[in-house]
Structure 1
Amino acid sequence: MSTNAVLPAFIAATAALGGVTLGALVEPLRLGAARRARVRDDRAARCAKLIEAAMTCRARLLALNLAHRRAASGVEVDAAREEELVEAYRLARNELRQTVALLRLSGPDELVEAAMAVRQAERALRGVRFVGDDGAFDRDKPPQGVLDVARALEDVVHEFAATARKLAA
């Protein structure tokens, strides 16, 4: 066999062996990067779900407070509508609890602590949902104590979003 035929075959075999070796070395790195990207995407989706659930809880609790204050002031309240509000709140609260549990499962701890703060703030708002008006019934403005707790929940959600942006991006 001539050297003219052996040299191209040797170069092709060396290139193939180098390609296989390089592929075997790079593949675990590529899979690891894909796994990290998937974890970041899952974490970001969970954070978005938690924010949505917390803000839905806030809106439903304020609506329930309004219904309670209406009933206390003698204004007729639609019982079916109030039951719909309660059910919508329960669904949002369940979503919030599940999402916090999933974040606790996957971490990181800083994000879990921020999620638990959101849950605590939601509980605080839930605790004042039956607070009545100090003076005359005002449909457009909840009592100051309820407003303060609702604003605190919103602030904690914003803090959670900042933490999530830092850790899930």
Structure 2
Amino acid sequence: MLTALGAAVIAAVASLVGVTLGALLEPLKLNAARRAKLRQDRADRCAGLIEAATRARKHIVDINVIHRRRQLHEEAETDAQREIEFDDAYYTARTEMRAFYGLLVMSGPDELVEQANVLRRKEMELHHTRWELDDDGKFDRRFLPTPVREASAAFDRAIEEFALVARKHTS
């Protein structure tokens, strides 16, 4: 009889300890889950910003190529339609960049926001070069005009630097 009573007491104490530990650990688990969700949201926003920036870069270069062809009267009939499509796609990507930037400003951290702001400035610098013409006045699709090439390289570096900071804050 004493053994059955002892087993019941041990089971009750173990149950009480288990419930108490569960109650104490629950806030820790919720906090860990909240931090994991925040990191995942931040990672999604950073990835979205990088993808939108990459698309914006591509479309700016495409717009520049069509503009240079038009200036040298090498315009194909489909260029006007393609330019409209590239322009629309560029402004869509730019809008996505602004949206992701706003979400990053809202959630932080400041280092990531500062790097995203650098990325946006470099995108604007590239945007201002979209009407640049070839240095020698001859169209060659393989080579971008010097200002476009330099702004594009700076934008690429800004994307890479943003990705490095994002990795630090999302992993």
Q: Does 1:148 align with 2:150?
A: yes
* In structure 2, distance between residues paired with 1:111 and 1:4: 63
Query: In the alignment, residue 39 of structure 2 is paired with which amino acid?
Result: R
CA-to-partner distance for each residue in 1:114-163, whole Å, 9 max, x for gaps? 00100110011001111111211212111011100000000011111111
1:106 alignment partner in structure 2: 107
1:158 alignment partner in structure 2: 160
Q: Does 1:37 align with 2:36?
A: yes
1:66 alignment partner in structure 2: 65
* In structure 2, distance between residues paired with 1:154 and 1:132: 21
* TM-score (normalizing by structure 1): 0.96
Identity across aligned pairs (percent)? 48
* In structure 2, distance between residues paired with 1:71 and 1:120: 28
1:64 CA drift (Å):
0.2
The alignment covers a number of residue pairs equal to 168
Q: Does 1:123 align with 2:153?
A: no
Query: Structure 1: where are the runs of 5+ without partners?
Result: none
2:170 alignment partner in structure 1: 168
1:24 alignment partner in structure 2: 23
* TM-score (normalizing by structure 2): 0.95
2:50 alignment partner in structure 1: 51
Query: Structure 2: where are the runs of 5+ without partners?
Result: none
Q: Does 1:10 align with 2:12?
A: no
1:61 CA drift (Å):
0.1
* In structure 2, distance between residues paired with 1:5 and 1:48: 61
